[in-house]
Structures are given as structure tokens and as C-alpha cells.
Chain A
Amino acid sequence: MTARLEFYGQLGDVMGRERKIALPAEAYRIEDIVRRLAHEHDEFRDAMSVRMRVALNDRIVEPAALVRDGDVVAFLPPFSGG
């Protein structure tokens, strides 16, 4: 069971644009991945923002959303267009 992680903006600079993670057998949520990345990667924790949003399979979701085998999880730092 794996999920593909994508990192945009400043998060892509520190984490690379893409990586895979193994998912545990039990229910695993977006917030669990965020906690794990922040624990394992100081650079992710430092670059994270309270305004960060997360998309699951191209839909912005809440932290409690469940992640399943083959899902794509995108980490989106604060938006800055215009």
C-alpha cells in the first residue's frame, strides 16, 4: 500500500516535487501523513504554514480525509497568484 506525495511551491524546493510513501494497514489520514512528514523532515516542518492546504486526488480535502492505496496527495503552500 503506497501513496504518491506531490509538493508544490516552497515545499517542492525542500522535499522534491514527488515521492512515494508506504501506508500502514490500518486507517491512515491526511493529518497522519502531515504529522509523519513534520516528524521525519525538519525542512518540511519549517516550510509548513497554517495556510497550507492538501489535495487528495485533485480535490482539496480536510485533514481527517482517509488516504487509500494509490492515492495522490498534494501539499499546497499558501496560494499566491495575480
Chain B
Amino acid sequence: MLIPIAILGVVLIYVWFIYNGLITARLRVSEAFSQIDVQLKRRTDLIPNLVETVKGYAKHEKELFEKVTAERANLMSANGANEKAKANDGLSNALKSLFAVAENYPTLKASENFQKLQDELSDTENKIAYSRQFYNSNVLDYNTKLTIFPNVLFANLFAFKPSEFFGVDEGDKKPVKVSF
């Protein structure tokens, strides 16, 4: 009588530990994600200012401003790691062409305000890269915990789902084609 109860107790405690471990890992992932969000927010906040500054020197580059503004709106409305990563890449591309155009306007390039904004943006981009690195290592940790045995048994039971990585390289996502 006692022995089955003892075994059951041990198993329950074991499950409890696995459950707590998974919860902790998942919390770390969402905390790391909010770190990325902070930096993305900072980036989107800088952009109206930048657009205004560039407009003062290069009025007729309308198309470019519209593209940057659209990409910014796109990033602000994006949800989830995958979508946000894509929107962020889109914004990066639009900004890249904006800065390329700015090269043609020496007075703009020399403007103190523009230089400051450029500096802040590149700092924010670095911070996004680092927060992404932290987030992805947490996701890797959590997803590994979900898939190893015996955790995998309880992960399904308690409906734990693997998290998305933030911005995996395009090459990694494509299925490998094998041709004979």
C-alpha cells in the first residue's frame, strides 16, 4: 500500500520540477522578447524625426519618405517574433536607401541633427542585434527543454508550444533541395 503511494509521490514531484523548469524557461523567453520590443519601439520613435530632417533638405524624394513611413507602420502593427523580424528587416532596407540618398546632399550630411539621428539609429540597430541574440539563445534553451525526453511527454500534456526565433536567416528557412 505504502510503496505505490511513495512511487506516485516521487513521480508527481518529478513532474512538478519539469513543469516549473518549463515555466521558467518560457518566462525568460517572453522577458527577452520584451527587451527586443523596447528597442524596436525606440527605433520607430526615431523615424518621424529623421524623415522630417531629411525632408528639409531633399523635398522631392517623396517616394522614399512614403516607403519609410509605410515600413514603420508595418513594423508597429506586426505581431509575434517572426512577423516583427520581417517588418524590421523591411524597415532596415527602406532606411538603407534613405541614407544612400542622403549621400547626395552634402548640407544634409553635414547637419548636426542628421548626424545625431544617424548615430542614434545605428546604436539602436546594434541594441536590436544584441537583444535578438539574447532572445534567440533563450528560445533555443526553451525549445530544447520542450523536445528532450522525458519533458516532451509533459510539454504536450500541459500544452507548451515552441517559441519562434527572431529573424532566422532566409537560407536557413528554405527546405533543402536534393536532386539526383
Q: Do A and B bind each other?
A: no
